[in-house]
Amino acid sequence: MHPRIEDYALIGDQQTAALVGRDGSVDWLCLPHFDSPACFGALLGDDENGHWRLAPKNPGPSRRPGECTRRAYRPGTLVLDTEWDTDEGSVRVTDFMPQRDRAPDVVRIVEGLSGRVTMRGALRLRFDYGSVVPWMRRVDGHRVAVAGPDSAWLRSEPEVPTWGESFCTHSEFTVEEGERVAFVLTWHPSHEERPPLVDPYESLRHSVEDWRAWSDRCRYDGPHKEAVLRSLLTLKALTFTPTGGIVAAPTTSLPEEIGGVRNWDYRYCWLRDSTLTLGALVSAGYLEEAQAWRDWLLRAAAGDPADLQIMYGLSGERRLPEFELPWLDGFHDSRPVRTGNDAVHQLQLDVYGEVVDSLALARRAGLTSQPHAWQVQLALLDFLHEAWRQPDEGLWEVRGPRRHFVHSKVMAWVAADRTVRAMEDDPRLPGDIDRLRKLRDAIHRDVCEYGYDEERGTFTQFYGSSELDASLLLIPRVGFLPPDDPRVVGTVDAVRAELSHHGLLRRYSSDATVVDGLPGRESTFLVCSFWLADALHMTGRTKEARALFERLVALGNDVGLLAEEYDPVADCHLGNFPQAFSHIGLVGTALTLFGTAQDGEAG
């Protein structure tokens, strides 16, 4: 039985990440980076597309075959403990990826807890997204896999006998109480020498210490602290430390509809998702990441502001061509599996507001200034002077016709507003403040005139439309109108009434095709439900807001992770996983309800 999305836990080294199932199988891992080809692709196909299972031979009774009895992260870390109680005894597998020195490693430590448990290992390396079977050989007691540019080494301490069968490396061994066997899988470019070996136990100690030191810096101390911290750890795990870029999720093509075509690659740096991630991290006291991302942004955006893309590769690469991988069947037969993302070519005006808002947040948080950051901001505003009047694809990246999306215009207003306010705060900043004030007022008037439906008492999804959109809930949050403005209250009520699905929110009409031009349906979009909780709180309905927040926190899987969407009827997660957007929402709403978020749109 193929696992569900919520059956997975995340481990990573902030350059890539792996998904580990409740059955002890690593079913997704891209090496060496988040956006590299997967060497374990079973997540989007089957075992033959690559995986690494380490579990008891006879796992004992469980709801699903082979599932563990319990599992949890070590508090404040990304170190995962998975345990099985079997007829032979109990055993634990500890999974993590150490901070990278030269090469990426996956460490799996098996430890006997009681009795004497027979364990089985099965390693099927399949490079290039599950399509290339490597040549395996034995060197100095290690198993070495080589195919084209990739090489991977498997070793164990103490050495465990392995044998090859059907292009799979098998092992069988026993562990008694207190006994440990460590496996380390190390990747490196096949033309290079094998990198130095890591000590699995030293690495474990360092990983736990490093993650805990990071967690201890969290400033949030309100209710649901564990869930908030898990979200922050997940966001941190999605940052690519060498460049400061932040990916939207570590996966591609986990479907928004089981069996459907809404399957996208999220292993890139969206300006929107990254700025919101940054807002969440800064609000919780993490400034270093903000600095690194701000510098990444300034590098990526360098050049003509008219060329600003809505997303980039991990180092600011501009070309992310979309391809289908026909040899992969897709998660629960959801085809096609895609890599790359054609949305890179879209015009999404909201991005200008999000970027400028995050630069303002960085300034307020006291980040050391970058002299050309202000020049970049002015150049973006120069571009917006004309561009804001254009229709665009909006924050949901519709693949249908361009429209005058209200949220896009509101965020263009945010860009002008934050720039005017910065100049008012610091009159030494150069720029034509009167021109910017006029721009800000013109956008405001336009939105209120063409984006508001007087009869229904609500803002609409786009000019002239009768559709609604959950992003309208952000209007009070970004300060476009005060929360007690009747137009805001009317919008919150209308969005809630029209887009609710079993108490959670869809991002737009249930007949999604009308809006986004794609076949199929989607379910409730988690960040939108967090936005609803924020809007309810801001419009004086705090009790309802808290109840909704409690429900959303409870939707996290057994280790606190959230996908992009949730289907309340089938009770399952949908979409890429774990998704930054959803965790940004969780942190933002916790801070709105119980803490002191910095100004700005932290989710």
Question: Amino acid identity, residue 83?
Answer: E
Tell me the C-alpha distance between 47 and 68, whole Å: 18
CB of 67 or CB of 354, closer to ligand LLGJG24Q: 354
162: β partners = 171
Nearer to ligand LLGJG24Q (CB atom), residue 214 or residue 296: 296
**579 with 562: CB under 8 angstroms?**
yes
Q: What percent of the chain is helix, strand and coil (3-state, nearest 5)?
A: 35, 25, 40
> Min. distance of Cβ 562 from ligand LLGJG24Q in angstroms?
13
- Considering beta carbons, is residue 498 or 565 the nearer one to ligand LLGJG24Q? 565
Query: What is the DSSP-derived secondary structure letter of residue 44?
Result: G
* Helix ranges restricted to H, 365-454: 371-387, 406-425, 433-450
Q: How far apart are CA 388 and CA 384, in angstroms?
A: 5
Shortest distance (Å) from residue 343 CB to ligand LLGJG24Q: 4
Residues 48, 126: contact at Cβ < 8 Å?
A: yes
- Contact set with ligand LLGJG24Q (CB under 6 A): 248, 262, 264, 266, 270, 272-273, 341, 343, 395-397, 399, 516, 581
User: Shortest gap between Cβ of 597 and ligand LLGJG24Q (angstroms)?
Assistant: 21
Distance CA 320, CA 358 (A): 24
Amino acid at 502: H
User: Amino acid identity of 562?
Assistant: L
What is the crossing angle of helices 350-364 and 288-301, to 10°?
Answer: 140
Q: How far is the CB of 403 from ligand LLGJG24Q (least distance, A)?
A: 14
Residue 182 CB, nearest approach to ligand LLGJG24Q (Å) = 36
Unique residue bearing structure tokens 């063409």: 450
In the complex, the smallest distance separating the C-beta of residue 350 from ligand LLGJG24Q, rounded to whole angstroms, is 9
The backbone torsions φ and ψ at residue 125, rounded to the nearest 5 degrees and listed phi first, read -85, 130
Residue closer to ligand LLGJG24Q by CB (options 584, 593) is 584
State which H helix or E strand residue 360 sits in.
Answer: helix 350-364
What type of residue sits at position 364?
Answer: R
CA distance 440 to 430: 18
- Cβ within 8 Å of residue 316, ≥6 positions away: 243, 245, 269, 296, 299, 300
Residue by residue, DSSP assigns 246-297 as E-S-S-B---SSTTSS---B--SEEHHHHHHHHHHHHHTT--HHHHHHHHHH
When the beta carbons of 248 and 258 are compared against ligand LLGJG24Q, the nearer one is 248
Distance of CA 189 to the CA centre of its chain: 27
Residue 395, judged by CB atoms within 10 A of its CB (0-12, 13-18, 19+), counts as buried
> What is the closest distance, in whole angstroms, from the C-beta atom of residue 379 to ligand LLGJG24Q in the complex?
23
Q: How far apart are CA 415 and CA 368, in angstroms?
A: 21
d(C-alpha 573, C-alpha 6), whole Å: 6
Q: How far is the CB of 107 from ligand LLGJG24Q (least distance, A)?
A: 30
Contact 411, 349 (CB under 8 A): yes
Element (H, E) at 214: helix 200-216
Phi and psi at 202, nearest 5°, equal -60, -45
Which residue, 36 or 348, is less far from ligand LLGJG24Q as judged by CB?
A: 348
**Angstrom distance (rounded) from CA 88 to CA 455:** 70
Closest distance to ligand LLGJG24Q from the beta carbon of 421 (Å)? 26
Nearest-angstrom CA–CA distance, 462 and 403: 6
The 10 Å Cβ neighbour count of residue 137 is 11
Cα torsion through 314, 320, 322, 324, rounded to 10: -50
